Amino acid sequence: MPLSPQLRDKILAAVDAGFDEQIAYTQKLVSFASQRGQEFAIQDFIQRDYAARGLKIDRFDMDEAALTAHEGGAPFSPQHSRAPIVVGIHHPKQETGRSLILQHHLDVVPIGPRDMWQHDPYGGQIDGDWMYGRGAGDMKAGAAANVFALQALKAIGLQPAATVYVQSVVEEESTGNGALQTYLRGYTADAALIPEPMDEELTRANVGVLWFTVEVRGFPTHVREMGAGTNAIDAAHRVIASLRDIENRWNAEAAAHPETAGVDHPINMNIGMIEGGDWGSSVPAWCRFQVRISIYAGQNAQAKYAEIRDHIAGFARGDRFLNQNPPVLTQNGFNAEGYVLAPGSDAEALLGQAHETAFGTPLKTSFSGAYLDARVYALYNRIPVLNYGPKSRAGHGFDEAVSLSSVRKVTKAMALFIADWCGTEAV
């Protein structure tokens, strides 16, 4: 049932009225340097905040045994976060509407060299329409929007007429185990909404992602006898080139994956980190690098990882040095399949109406080449999942920023959607 024009206008006005507070709240979230494994303080802040807002709290740890036994779970490396997951629960007086999960993640990626930032990476500085900071877009603005969309209803004396779970997770940037743990804990609903920074578009499909390390070892010598030694850094480069062959082959298969239609290079492989060697004048004995590669939605993560392992093993057999020193692959993160949001759901239709009200333009959908926690809801909860959020720039880069005018409109669309999807009742 569409919202009445009066209610709609009151909701829009309430988001506007609360927006200064929402900005301050976003800045507060940005002020936490919540890198992987360092999300304890921000999750504790979230827990106290949600409790103060009247949400019931369920806080729990990620369960390594259960996660790694699940087909979508990722291995726990030594860097895996031990921070808790926090779920804030709203129960209505009467369950008359459709239930909803509002999810966000609060882990952020490293800032890189500090001197390449013009703005304080944790300052939340505002310059014109943009708020700067690591995680400002990805996705602390979305985390704040989850709270302030609900807050807008409350400000006009309303609350959702259905159960709403506000799920604050971690490990989105490395494994997706945080979101998966909420599923394993039993949380589900009639739909889920995740305000990732999607340029005001709804994600129609994304990729799966694999993370693994490759280690090459060789026998070092004094550099004066370099011909006799084997250079692990050079050998690693040969393995990287061989991995590029996989990336090229997979991109050449794009036509078989209609969800990527119009996308130039849907599969990206990234050598995100490299380290090797101990001494300038010793031929390096070892080199390790970190690989992130995507796979098409619908492809099985373990099957594609096996394909990579086989490819590298075959390459190594034909390489005089690697033949004696086969590279060692170790999966150390994402083991995730991609998903497709089937068109035609009520949830998508209602979000479309809400978006058009807030923006005055139709909701577009797009393909994402990134891992998204939405895969958990699509693949395992099997519910409509709306991955939709504000404009941002330089995600994972320097001077990451989010557009505040975009956040305002997205929050309006979210509040309208919640009111429509869940229905409302008096507080």
Binding site for a second copy (CB under 8 A): 109-113, 116, 138, 173-174, 209, 211, 217, 219-227, 229, 231, 233-234, 237, 264-265, 268, 270-287, 289-292, 333, 368-371, 394-398
User: Six-digit token pair at 113?
Assistant: 């060299």
**Closest to a second copy by CB, 8 or 134:** 134
**Closest to a second copy by CB, 131 or 291:** 291
Least distance in angstroms from the C-beta of 113 to a second copy: 6
**Closest to a second copy by CB, 20 or 264:** 264
Least distance in angstroms from the C-beta of 209 to a second copy: 7
User: Six-digit token pair at 67?
Assistant: 């996660």
* Half-sphere exposure of residue 91: CA atoms within 13 angstroms, side-chain side: 3
Least distance in angstroms from the C-beta of 184 to a second copy: 23
- Beta carbons of 421 and 96 less than 8 angstroms apart: no
At a CB cut-off of 8 Å and minimum separation 6, what does 341 contact?
Answer: 202, 203, 204, 205, 348, 365, 374, 378, 384, 385, 386, 387
Least distance in angstroms from the C-beta of 247 to a second copy: 10
Query: What is the C-alpha to C-alpha distance for residues 99 and 96, in angstroms, rounded to an integer?
Result: 9
**Closest to a second copy by CB, 173 or 420:** 173
Least distance in angstroms from the C-beta of 116 to a second copy: 7
Select from 328, 316, 315 the least CA-distant residue to 288.
328
Query: What is the C-alpha to C-alpha distance for residues 377 and 391, in angstroms, rounded to an integer?
Result: 23
Query: What is the C-alpha to C-alpha distance for residues 104 and 313, in angstroms, rounded to an integer?
Result: 39
- Beta carbons of 150 and 164 less than 8 angstroms apart: yes
**Closest to a second copy by CB, 32 or 421:** 32
Least distance in angstroms from the C-beta of 141 to a second copy: 15
11: Cα separation from own chain's centroid:
28
**Closest to a second copy by CB, 237 or 311:** 237
